[in-house]
Amino acid sequence: MTSTAIEARHLVKTYKNKAAVRDLSLSVRPGVFYAFLGPNGAGKSTTLRMLTGLLKPTRGDVLILGQSIENDPLAVKATIGLVPDDLPLFDRLTGEETLIFTARIHGLDTKEARRRSEELLEYFDLLEARAQMVLEYSLGMKKKLALAAALIHQPKVLFLDEALNGVDPVSVKTVADLLRALVAKGLTIFFTTHVLDTAERLCDEIGVIHQGKLVASGTIEDIKRLRQMGADARLEDVFLQVVGAEKPKRPPAFLGGGVGITSEEPFVPQP
């Protein structure tokens, strides 16, 4: 087994001479639940797309389990699972057909594809909707189906882009329990989210990207020590300090942000 499950080496991605990701290097060990955090537009999704081979870097390289995604993309993609934020599912397939189709693409025979599909549909409470077309699914159901499809071939590395958004609290617990159990068995998870409470509860290590650069990486406790923050600081406090957003902004004057009013004081509409 390699010492790193995910390794990015000096990744750069530019669009029309504007850098979306700037000289980003990171390393994630096998069996780690890694949260990749950042403000909107920081470069999270661009980085994830480069890590999974969906987007070619302007410069730099990505290795998954020691294999270069540029040199052997098919071999790398066979070892990973992906739930992208845009959920590119086939609307005219049923939920069950989606899973069987995905399993067959990954080389499973029909009998095994059906068996795994049945187990996943049951686990994610989608059995009753197995014969419904995907276009009839709610957002939460689509998220669970996409996760089931990403797991059906037993990947060694799983990439999740805002995978729990729109999922009901009961299902979030079900998914979270499964993900933690899989990590305990050696699965590596790379997880982007804006929900910091979820990241703090689930993840072993975090990386923070800001304006295209990786500005912090490690355990939350490690980052607290480096930033000289107290042991009782929450991930939200750490994140806001790292990206330089800990100081509250004054609301616009017409919304009550006049002299003597800050965003920490009660909002009082002005006549």
pLDDT at 258 over 60: no
| Beta-bridge partners for 9 | 61
The Cβ of residue 173 has, within 10 Å, a number of other Cβ atoms equal to 11
Give pLDDT, residue 186. Answer: 95
Name the one residue in this structure whose structure tokens are 């004081």: 265
Per-residue pLDDT, averaged over 13-34, amounts to 94
Give pLDDT, residue 108. Answer: 96
Q: Domain locations in the chain?
A: 1-79+155-271, 89-153
Share of the chain above pLDDT 90, in %: 68
Q: What is the CA radius of gyration of the chain?
A: 21
Dump the DSSP string for 31-47. Answer: T-EEEEE--TTSSHHHH
Decide if 87 contacts 143 (C-beta within 8 A).
Answer: yes
Give pLDDT, residue 231. Answer: 82
Give pLDDT, residue 255. Answer: 80
Pick 1-79+155-271's CATH classification: 3.40.1360.10, 3.40.190.10, 3.40.50.300, 3.40.50.720.
3.40.50.300
Give pLDDT, residue 264. Answer: 53
Q: Which alpha helices (DSSP H) does the chain contain, by range?
A: 44-51, 73-77, 95-105, 110-123, 139-151, 169-184, 196-202, 220-226, 235-242
The Cβ of residue 246 has, within 10 Å, a number of other Cβ atoms equal to 12
CA distance 152 to 143: 14
CA distance 53 to 50: 5
pLDDT in tens, 222-243: 888 888 888 888 898 888 888 8
The residue count for the chain = 271
The Cβ of residue 176 has, within 10 Å, a number of other Cβ atoms equal to 15
pLDDT at 135 over 70: yes
pLDDT in tens, 70-99: 999 999 999 999 999 888 899 999 999 999
Average pLDDT value over all residues in the chain: 90
pLDDT in tens, 34-51: 999 999 889 999 999 999
CA distance 94 to 148: 13
pLDDT interval class at 206 (50, 70, 90): very high
Give pLDDT, residue 246. Answer: 67
**Model pTM score:** 0.89
Per-residue pLDDT, averaged over 237-262, amounts to 74
Give pLDDT, residue 259. Answer: 52
